Amino acid sequence: MLNLTGAALANSGSTTLEQQRLLFKQAELALSNDDIKQFEKLLLELKDYPVTGYLQYDAFNKNLGQASESDVRQFLSKYKDLPFAYRLLGKWLGMLAKRQDWEGYLEFYDGRSDVKYKCLSITAKLETNKTKNINNEIEKIWSTGYSQPEQCDFAFKHYLETVDNVSDVIWLRIDKAFKARRPSLAKYLARQLNDKDKELVDLWYQAHRHPAEKLPLLSKSKDTPIHRKIIIHALDRLARKDSLQAKERWDEIKIKFQFSTEQEEGINKRIALSAAYQHKAESKQLLQQLPEKLKSDNAHLWLARIHLRDEDWIGLIKTINDMPDRLKTESEWIYWLARAYESAGHAVKAADIYNRLSEKNTYYGFLAADKVNRKYQIKQQHAAAETTYDEQQLLSKSANLLRARELFFLDRLLDARREWFQGIRKLSQQEIKQAASIASIWKWYDSAIKTVAKTSHRSDYDLRFPMPYRQQVMLNVKQKDLDPSVIYGVMRRESLFDPLAKSRVGALGLMQLMPSTARRVAKSLGLKKLKQNEILSVSNNINLGTSYFRTVLNRFENNVSLAAAAYNAGPGNVKKWLPEKETLPADLWVETVPFKETRNYIQAVLAYATIFDKHLGKNVKISSRMDDVKSVY
């Protein structure tokens, strides 16, 4: 293993490091070209380099299929503290399973939580007759409403062949599948039922897909437990689309069936909350009629938002005061209590609350400061100001962080992140602050921001809100007449300035563009159809992202709140959320956006833009970016 206090750190001058990084890249190239002689020669030259182990991993991983169990055990033991050991073991377990070496699988299996490997460990036990309590293990994986990997098929087959009341356990999973909105899984599971039960599952499937059509038919069915369950499911589905139609159907049906108290309460709550999300006038009464035990946090919050939408300030004051303490003490409802007092004529009481809230450099704190004409309290404090050691001293304390630095500069970003955050877990709070500052110096902005977020420090605005790629951003905002602070706010919220960011749904780059959106914008700009790596390009991503933001700004008449909402949730959703008749103040409109993610997104972009204003030497009030929201655009 590496001796970090020896040659590696003694020779850590910038020239030596640059040479070592170049040799590392040459070794990677030699390995990819199967030039093993050159590769091994370069390994010798890199014996004191902190991340030479990653080259060894690349070589071992490339030939893992030819490795013996002894080779793998020895390699894993040598590099057990490096993150790649976990990945290598996963690949090895997969190979053992493919070879059906079940004894070997159980010997190497480390109990990892990934369902694929758990199921393979069950298969290994079944194949080696280690079956004590095996069905209890399988049941935990079976009893979920989501599809499981194919590696679980053998375990599930055993379970269904040996469990008592096989029909009951299939129905249990079908029920969970419908609740998880996985109707195709339910239909797949129904293949193992008798014809009568298959018909019931098909009825449930049709009710899931077409609830409005199927509820009249269901209302004439026999009063059985399964029919009641299907009806409740169909009503829940309908309520999510049209709460008032669901209520009308519910009022007709509930007198014909012996629904349980839990079913009645559940559908009443769903209809009331859906009516609130859909901004229905009846939602206030529906929520107020819910018994106290059904008033979840969401019920309290949406009753308050209904009062907001109606500008019923007295009702809002009462609703906030009736909230559980954990809700009423959040900045959101402190602000709205002050706003309600102000609108109800209690100016002194409102000003007192605004003044206290304005100490916070948050969306609500900035809004409160504007209400009392107070300057924002954005005062730069360096997170690492109290540190007593420099970068080299910190890296000498952590092998992970030292390796992370080299991997970052070698463009092995995924490996770098794994090392970095494994190392961060072992540091003190002050050391974490120092590490965040060091990452920022390296221009590793996303890791710097995530690292400082692991501390209580929130006042190093240079660290938390950097402004990278300034030349490209400023060029684009000038060409498109955009506010640079807002664009930086969008980038900060979207990617933390990680140019290679990829979301679970496929959004790409600094400004998190969906490929379809990026290509549509590119076409409008007269550019060729872009490949994924071209969308990830910093210059392309900023150009396309700012162009799209300009499009949504134009669509909503330069209303920043609406443009931010449209960038996140799409212009179609924003159009649905516009007030029906009267114009609404922007803060009120934002607060009543139905999607929590979009609501938080708008608030974050506006608050971040305010902080970037400070960096740019601008004195802009957050409220100046929040135009009233009209009913038509």
Query: What pLDDT, in 10s, does the model give residues 513-536?
Result: 999 999 999 999 999 999 999 999
Long-range CB contacts (within 8 A, 24+) of 251-254: 252/219, 253/215, 253/218, 253/219
Give the DSSP H or E segment for 267: helix 261-277
Q: Are 595 and 615 in contact (CB under 8 A)?
A: no
Helices (H), 528-595: 532-536, 538-555, 560-569, 571-577, 586-591
Q: Hey, what CATH class is 470-625 in?
A: mainly alpha
- Average pLDDT, integer, range 480-501: 97
Q: Are 49 and 8 in contact (CB under 8 A)?
A: yes
Name the residues annotated as catalytic: 494
Q: At residue 9, does pLDDT exceed 90? A: no
Q: In whole angstroms, how far apart are CA 423 and each of 10, 154, 274, 349, 451?
A: 21, 39, 45, 49, 11
- Residues 152-174 have pLDDT tens digits of 999 999 999 999 999 999 999 99
End-to-end CA distance of the chain: 65
Q: Specify the pLDDT at position 387.
A: 64
Tokens of 434: 């120092």
pTM beyond cutoff 0.85: yes
SS3 state at 212: helix
Q: Hey, what CATH class is 391-458 in?
A: mainly alpha
Q: How would you classify residue 100: left for phi > 0, otherwise alpha for psi between -120 and 50, otherwise beta?
A: left
Rounded-to-10 torsion of CA 444, 449, 453, 458: 130
Number of other residues whose CB lies within 10 A of the CB of residue 179:
12
Q: In whole angstroms, how far apart are CA 598 and each of 499, 561, 590?
A: 22, 10, 9
Q: Residue 632, class by beta-carbon neighbours within 10 Å (0-12 exposed, 13-18 middle, 19+ buried)?
A: exposed
DSSP class of residue 374 equals: -
- Residues 288-342 have pLDDT tens digits of 999 988 999 999 999 999 999 999 999 999 999 999 999 999 999 999 999 999 9
Q: At residue 344, does pLDDT exceed 50? A: yes
Which residues face 513 on adjacent strands? 508
- In whole angstroms, what is the distance from residue 518 CA to residue 540 CA? 9
Please identify which residue in the block is written with the tokens 């669901």.
246
